[in-house]
Structure 1
Amino acid sequence: MSAPTAEAVQAELVNVMDPEIRRPITELKMVRSVDVEPSGLVVVGVDLTTEGCPLKETITRDVTNVVSALDGVSDVRVEMGVMTEEQRKELRSTLRGGAAEPEIPFSKPGSLTRIYAVTSGKGGVGKSSVTANLAAAMAADGLKVGVVDADIYGFSIPRMLGVELPPTKVDDMIMPPVQHDVKVISIGMFTQNGRPVVWRGPMLHRALQQFLADVFWGDLDVLLLDLPPGTGDIAISVAQMLPNSEILVVTTPQVAAAEVAQRAGIIAEQTNQRVVGVVENMSWLAQPDGTRVDLFGSGGGERVSAELSESLGYDVPLLAQVPIELALRESGDTGTPFVLRDGDSPATEALRSLASSLSHRSRGLAGRSLGISPVGGR
């Protein structure tokens, strides 16, 4: 059997995706060369974005598997190189759609990405756990999902999603790591273990701006932001940078938590955002005999929903009540989102239903071009 042509090999390499950018390596012009010897040995030259690319073994494996499937191939050798400055410049331009400077793609009028800022009035109500499981459930349903861990002081999303690889930099562009098909960025990826972040407002604003503009997110269906509790600098910055973002309020049934959660939602009145709904977490603990124990009281989610609806002048529904389950806490520690585990439970059903309802909400037309223009008139 004769060896394949170099053109045939190039055609098959379209099926090899860059693990971070999620585009074919041929489209990104990472394939430097393809040489085919009469013996059937195929040598593929691949230029990585950076010399220390943590996923070069993945690319090597994928190239080898794709090319080996061709008839007439006896062996495959992948030779790695590094892009030149000119190549990286061209790649940055391609990824930014020709734009020279970083810009926040989600703030453009034509953006179709649904943006949810997940907030709470106080810490400890499970806001990050809800965010991580929402992201994983949406990605499992086939959506392109990104998560910004905007809780700069109390970041926890990388652990909850099991992110271990650091981001990759292409000069001033950051490629976010991907875990469970979710793109993730967090300040925790840039700090030493155990070291606190001691920043004031301007630094927090700049960090969020970099997460949104300098990170290559690609074409996302949904972007989730895990906000710090309360109504501080980050909440205000999100409203300024992402005016089309919607707020999802997380509370527990406890009266004290519900009171402060309401204040976290009322900020939407001043920032011209919309509160999409309320999630009551830790709603009850199911007993072996089928009864429920209300460890944190009851009615907090309904109270926040009713008071926000009255204050904001539109319906703010209670979207989900998530019961306490030991496995839900364990999954956050091990980095395997609870919604991805085998089997159903009241908590998984509540979270999956919440993800589905947020995924299928239609975008409004405010700020979006309808593609029409006047043809004349008096």
Structure 2
Amino acid sequence: MIVNQLSLSEAWLMGLDRAYWNFGVLASQTGVAAITEQTQLNGALLAIEEINAKGGIAGRPIRPIIYDPGSIPANFATYARRMLADNNVNIIFGCYMSSQRKAVLPIIREYGALLCYPTMYEGFEFSDNVIYSGAAPNQNNIPMAKYMMEHCGETFCLVGSDYLFPREANRIFKETIQALGGSVLSEDYLPLEADAAAVEPVIDRLVALEPDAIFSTIVGDSTIPFYRGLAKVRAGRRHIPVGSLNTSEAEIAVMGPSVASGHLISMPYLSPIDSETNNRFKREYIARFGKAGITSCTEAAYFQVHLVAQAIAEIGTDDTHAVVRALHNRRFGAPEGEVWVDPENNHTYLWPRIAEIGAAGELNIVQDCVAPVKPDPYLVFPRDRDDDGRHLLAEVVS
């Protein structure tokens, strides 16, 4: 049963019903970020359905309590409070943009609840009330900067949406590039809902500067006109590769393969991963939701539900601090590979990867990972070697 936009009377009745584990899901099905957030919702629902098909948690099924915040941060805060105050929810899964997470954090702390956040982000944050399942900067941003410096050139233009994550992600990328001897020619920011008319002058400036590559942190629907506009002006010109941490297969499907071809993305999960676990995950996802692109956020939303369910099954409660303790170092065979939560910072060991988008929109993995990388959200000691000195990241030789 999926409950969406509950009335107060329905919520009160559900509060009396202890036959279920109520999991809150905040994922926009409308608004500027709906392309990706819908896939987060799908990933969470797929995991819940799998768990319920096996008898739920300790004999009690999970009931998802779903709200559509419409990509508006203030709505995330409103609905988080409603879930915690009225809907008998103690654990919330979701949020995509950092502005959404930041809006929810005070509510989570006020109620002593738990947020499971499935999105890569800018780092430099810790909360006892949050499990961070998306990539920290050392698991996507720094590997991308190093790869692009080696394979694309030494001059870059940066472009992003105008809010916290893009500005911080661009800062980290710029500092890494400069430390490696590269240079940044420009840095532009667009409104979150930028359309083709808004991106056109930015693209004209980027092309005129003739950088070796572009690093984009544009998010949501604005991704589409940016890539399409760049494809239009590059006709007859040298191809300028774009590297992104958040442009996913969902956006690629919308913009079209001819537009996306030749650009780069950096994410722990990429659909071509050839493993029994990932192949099963893709089959089940497509059977349930169709062939819409599976994103890294989809996979993180999926595995974090499974991790939390395992923790609750062990301890018999959804108490926040008990669940967090039970999650530390708990292993789960996710589609990207085995993952676990680092007890030092509540972030997740993940598998950094980089892919180039092919002519048909396919992802060709060009840098893979031989083992999961410890999360380093504060970039205290970013590294690509394990404790034995092995290189964790390696180019894929075709």
With normalisation by structure 2, the TM-score equals 0.34
- Greater Rg by CA: 1
With normalisation by structure 1, the TM-score equals 0.35
Question: Going by fraction, where is helix more abundant, 1 or 2?
Answer: 2
